[in-house]
């Protein structure tokens, strides 16, 4: 059995976040979306749920939502086909209200390449390409 991963991000504006992730290459799954949440599908194995704060808070019990503009709670990495896709996602993020930066891992780009991508709410993704053979 394969596993599908759904990462949940708290966002201030579901519609704006939906549009942002569509510009990165994600597709909205209408079946699991409404005014409080959008299911943003990358592929059959990976999706991001963008949830407004009110809805997201229901899953936290006694915890507060982290201010992702100044704190981090999770780094979400996902594999893509090649380094050009990593760069395309990062550039689309920057052009649409997000940002990105690079971390020097000391690994040649011909073996592995990734960028740290931030959405407008500060949630962080790491599209990554790794040479497989």
What's 50's domain CATH number? 3.10.180.10
pLDDT score of 2: 75
Domain-embedded: residue 9: yes
H helical segments located in 1-133:
14-24, 53-57, 83-95
Model pLDDT for residues 4-63, shown as the tens digit of each residue: 889 999 999 999 999 999 999 999 999 999 999 999 999 999 999 999 999 999 999 899
Domain-embedded: residue 81: yes
Residue 110 DSSP code: T
Domain-embedded: residue 79: yes
Domain-embedded: residue 44: yes
Candidates 51, 57, 60, 61; CA nearest to 13 is 51
In the predicted structure, residue 1 carries a pLDDT above the cut 70: no
pTM of the prediction? 0.90
Domain-embedded: residue 67: no
Domain-embedded: residue 23: yes
Domain-embedded: residue 22: yes
Domain-embedded: residue 66: no
Number of structural domains found in the chain? 1
Model pLDDT for residues 60-110, shown as the tens digit of each residue: 989 999 998 899 888 899 999 999 999 999 999 999 999 999 999 899 999
Strand partners for 76:
125
Inter-residue contact 51 to 8 (CB < 8 Å): yes
Residue-number span of the structural domain to which 81 is assigned: 5-60+72-130
């Amino acid at each position: 059995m394969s596993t599908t991963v759904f990462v949940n991000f708290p966002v201030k504006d579901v519609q704006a976040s939906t549009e942002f992730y569509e510009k990165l290459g994600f597709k909205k799954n209408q079946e699991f979306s409404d005014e409080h949440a959008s299911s943003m599908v990358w592929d059959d194995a990976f999706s991001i749920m963008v949830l407004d704060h009110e809805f997201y808070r229901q899953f936290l019990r006694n915890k507060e939502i982290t201010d992702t503009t100044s704190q981090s709670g999770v780094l979400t990495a996902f594999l893509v086909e090649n380094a050009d896709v990593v760069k395309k996602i990062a550039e689309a993020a920057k052009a649409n209200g997000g940002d990105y930066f690079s971390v020097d891992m000391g690994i040649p780009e011909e073996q592995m390449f990734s960028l740290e991508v931030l959405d407008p709410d500060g949630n962080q993704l790491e599209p990554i390409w790794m040479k497989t053979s």
